[in-house]
């Protein structure tokens, strides 16, 4: 549990730092859903780089990547089945909430 809490704190710091400031002429202002997705994508990358993918199934990773590729708009259908997947899902829920999104923003749900 200490590892999960520490990793969640590190991911939260990465989100809070945000992306480097963009030159105003290069980018249009982003909508709030785009900002949330960008923050979430950064947190996901940070969590994977620190934690790795050991214990994460292909379906879990593929469905999560599809969520991010959709601009974080697809229906929640990423089901954490292993202990490692559940730990990462918990980290991402905390990171998303710390980034200013609702706890329902992440794509984790088991429908069956």
What is the tens place of the pLDDT at every residue in 54-75? 999 999 999 999 999 999 999 9
Residue 63 lies in a domain: yes
Q: What is the mean pLDDT of residues 100-107?
A: 89
In a domain, 43, yes or no: yes
Enclosing domain of residue 50: 2-18+32-98
Helix, strand, or coil (residue 26): coil
Dihedral, CA atoms, 64, 66, 71, 75, nearest 10 degrees? -80
Q: Is residue 39 assigned to a domain?
A: yes
Work out how many domains the chain is built from and give that number.
1
For 6-34, what is each residue's pLDDT tens digit? 555 555 555 555 544 444 455 676 899 99
């Amino acid at each position: 549990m200490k590892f999960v809490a520490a990793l969640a704190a590190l991911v939260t710091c990465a989100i809070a730092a945000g992306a480097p400031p963009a030159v105003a002429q290069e980018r249009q202002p982003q909508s709030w859903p785009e900002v949330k997705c960008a923050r979430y994508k950064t947190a996901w990358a940070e969590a994977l780089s620190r934690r790795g993918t050991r214990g994460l199934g292909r379906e879990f990773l593929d469905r999560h990547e599809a969520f991010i590729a959709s601009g974080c708009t697809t229906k929640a259908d990423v089901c954490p089945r292993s202990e490692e997947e559940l730990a990462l899902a918990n980290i991402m829920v905390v990171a998303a909430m710390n980034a200013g999104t609702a706890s329902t923003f992440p794509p984790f749900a088991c429908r069956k």
